[in-house]
Amino acid sequence: MKIRIKSLFLTLLVLICSFVSVQAVFASANPVAGQNQLKIQANGVIAADAKTGQILYQKNIDQPMAIASVSKLMTIYITHQEINQGKLKWSSKVKITKDIAALSRESGVTNVNLVAGKSYSVQELTKAALVGSANAAAMALGNKIAQTPAKFAQLMNHTAKSIGLQKALFYNACGLTNKMVLGLGLKNVKSNAENLMTTQDVAILTSKLLKDFPSITKITSMPNTKFAGQSVAGHNQLLGNQPLIAKGVVVDGLKTGTSDKAGACFVGTAEKQGKRIITVVLHASNKNASDPARFVQTEKLMHYIFTEMVPKQINMGSSLNGVASASVPNGKRVTVPLVVSQNTWVWVNKSLSPQISGKFLTKTSKLSAPVFKGTHVGQAHVLVNSKSVSYLRTLTSEISLKTKSTMPKANIFVRVWRAITSIF
């Protein structure tokens, strides 16, 4: 009996050890661990660091999908470019055409009322488009910039390619179907044609918008705005609900989108202690106009990142395991220490006891002494627990390495002795 109990105990012990071993291997193979346990209910999902582009969660990020009013982010990006280039001002006036006025009165379409022949400022229309998701306001901005809806659609597609969006396709400035924009629709295009982007492309566009025009969050953090004396309600239900996500988190954007084809979409951005993330949730549940699914899923995603993950700083001048030195065959010493050239950070899961290291991507093949302090040596990828970290396609995952100190040339006797001993 004692033998059988002992045998059973040993078997159970082996099973437990095996389970722990498998879990350890699983964790080490997933530097962004936890996303296999985190289930976000939407067709396309991504979360990324707004500055570095590190992907913190992903699901179906490269399939083009209808994006509805998320399209307005591209319209506002181009508007900001025009202002930055001096072609427009916030105070520039936009005269409303009959077609745009008619669209602004169309039932079932989110809008502010625009009067034909009347002019509104670029700033007014931008706030209406971002906060109130006003479709005619976005179309008016497009017409101001490119004269016609067709030319603005061309500009949108050209801009998309120029910033690295691979599968974006735009038909208009607002995100409605070609039929729903009435007389502003494109000729020889199907009536149900709707703007398309991949989840990753939306994140890339958002990171560009936040980097190039960071003041946009002053608008997108507004729960409501005024237009022509009327109050316009915002659509972002996460504004003011930051405590539900995590202590110290500030949600300040960014844009909703809703259509029959796109379901409910939401591009969010939030910041905590100087670290900003972007979240994109495409094609969430949209059972009715008040269905909160896109916000519930975004809240779940943000909560996970800000409570289960932490950004680990990699300081300029620090060394990184795996890329801590380079060979200098003719130096006073045969290696020279290397350090990181710029400040950066990498998000890691708190529960993994993560080990951060580097792997050479490019490296000067042979350093010849004297090598001076600050000499650029090469580029490296950051690794977490020996696994590569994923980044948005257009943002570099590379860090630059430089020499920490000067390495003088070895004297002739040392060099001769090294040459002799290398033969033997």
pLDDT of 16 > 50? The answer is: no
pLDDT at site 35:
55
pLDDT of 128 > 80? The answer is: yes
Confidence of residue 153 (pLDDT cuts 50, 70, 90): very high
Which residues face 59 on adjacent strands? 45
Q: Is the dihedral of CA 40, 45, 51, 54 positive or negative?
A: positive
Please name the residue that has the structure tokens 């006797």: 413
Phi, psi for 257 (deg, rounded to 5): -160, 135
What type of residue is 129? Answer: A
pLDDT of 17 > 50? The answer is: no
Q: What is the rounded distance in angstroms from the CA atom of residue 237 to the CA atom of residue 368?
A: 60
Q: What is the rounded distance in angstroms from the CA atom of residue 245 to the CA atom of residue 247?
A: 7
Q: Is 127 helix (H, G, I), strand (E, B) or coil?
A: helix
- Read off the pLDDT of each residue in 65-74 and give the average, rounded to a whole number: 98
pLDDT at site 398:
87
- Give the count of beta carbons closer than 10 Å to the beta carbon of residue 5: 9
Q: Which of 143-147, 162-166, 395-399, 405-409 has the lowest mean pLDDT?
A: 395-399
Of the chain, the percentage scoring pLDDT greater than 70 comes to: 91
What type of residue is 1? Answer: M
Q: What is the rounded distance in angstroms from the CA atom of residue 2 to the CA atom of residue 223?
A: 71
pLDDT at site 343:
94
pLDDT of 202 > 60? The answer is: yes
Q: What is the end-to-end Cα distance of the chain in Å, rounded?
A: 66
pLDDT of 13 > 50? The answer is: no
What type of residue is 179? Answer: K
pLDDT of 424 > 50? The answer is: yes
pLDDT of 296 > 60? The answer is: yes
pLDDT in tens, 314-332: 999 999 999 999 999 998 9
Q: Going by C-beta distance under 8 Å and a sequence separation of 6 or more, which residues neighbour residue 77?
A: 159, 205, 208, 209, 212, 213
Element (H, E) at 12: helix 2-28
Which domains, ranges and CATH numbers included, belong to the chain? 44-311 (3.40.710.10), 315-423 (2.60.410.10)
pLDDT at site 25:
32
pLDDT of 10 > 60? The answer is: no
Mean pLDDT of the chain: 90
pLDDT at site 14:
38
189: nearest Cα among 176, 202, 199:
176
Q: What is the rounded distance in angstroms from the CA atom of residue 329 to the CA atom of residue 368?
A: 7
- Read off the pLDDT of each residue in 299-319 and give the average, rounded to a whole number: 96
pLDDT at site 11:
44
Residue 332, class by beta-carbon neighbours within 10 Å (0-12 exposed, 13-18 middle, 19+ buried)?
middle
Confidence of residue 36 (pLDDT cuts 50, 70, 90): low
- Read off the pLDDT of each residue in 169-183 and give the average, rounded to a whole number: 98
- Read off the pLDDT of each residue in 129-149 and give the average, rounded to a whole number: 98
pLDDT at site 418:
72
- Read off the pLDDT of each residue in 175-204 and give the average, rounded to a whole number: 97
Q: Going by C-beta distance under 8 Å and a sequence separation of 6 or more, which residues neighbour residue 75?
A: 129, 138, 141, 142, 156, 173, 174
pLDDT in tens, 214-254: 999 999 999 999 999 999 999 999 998 767 788 899 999 99
Output the pTM of the full model. 0.88
Of the chain, the percentage scoring pLDDT greater than 90 comes to: 79
- Read off the pLDDT of each residue in 140-144 and give the average, rounded to a whole number: 98
